[in-house]
Chain A
Amino acid sequence: MTKLVYFAWVRERIGKTEEDLDLPPEVLTARDLLNHLKTLGEEYENALQYPEVIRVAIDQEHVEHFEKIAGAREIGIFPPMTGG
Chain B
Amino acid sequence: MTMPTIRVQTDDFDLQSEIDLLTAGRMDIGAVVSFCGLCRDEQGALSALELEHYPGMAEAEMNRIALLAIDRFSLLGLTAIHRYGKIAPGANIVLVIAVASHRQAAFDGANFVMDFLKTSAPFWKKEHAADGSPRSWVDAKDADDTARDRWR
Q: Quick one: given A7-B124, A8-B124, A62-B120, are A82 and B57 in contact (CB under 8 Å)?
A: no
Q: Quick one: given A7-B122, A76-B122, are A83 and B53 in contact (CB under 8 Å)?
A: yes
Chain B positions within 8 Å of A7 at CB level: 52-54, 122, 124
Number of interface residues of B (CB under 8 A): 28
Chain B positions within 8 Å of A81 at CB level: 118-124, 140
Q: How far, in angstroms, from A62 to B52 measured CA to CA in the complex?
A: 17
B135 to chain A, nearest CB (A): 10
Q: Quick one: given A57-B54, A57-B57, A60-B56, are A84 and B137 in contact (CB under 8 Å)?
A: no
B22 an interface residue at 8 Å Cβ cutoff?
no
B137 to chain A, nearest CB (A): 5
Chain A positions within 8 Å of B140 at CB level: 79-82
CB-CB nearest in chain A for B117: A84
B67 an interface residue at 8 Å Cβ cutoff?
no
Chain A positions within 8 Å of B120 at CB level: 62, 81
Q: B17-57: which have CB < 8 Å to A? A: 37, 51-54, 56-57
B10 to chain A, nearest CB (A): 14
8 contacts between A and B (CB under 8 A): A7-B52, A7-B54, A8-B137, A78-B124, A81-B123, A82-B125, A83-B121, A84-B117
Which A residues have a C-beta under 8 Å from some C-beta of B?
A: 5, 7-9, 57, 60-62, 76, 78-84
Q: Which A-B residue pairs are the 3 nearest by beta carbons?
A: A83-B123, A80-B140, A84-B118
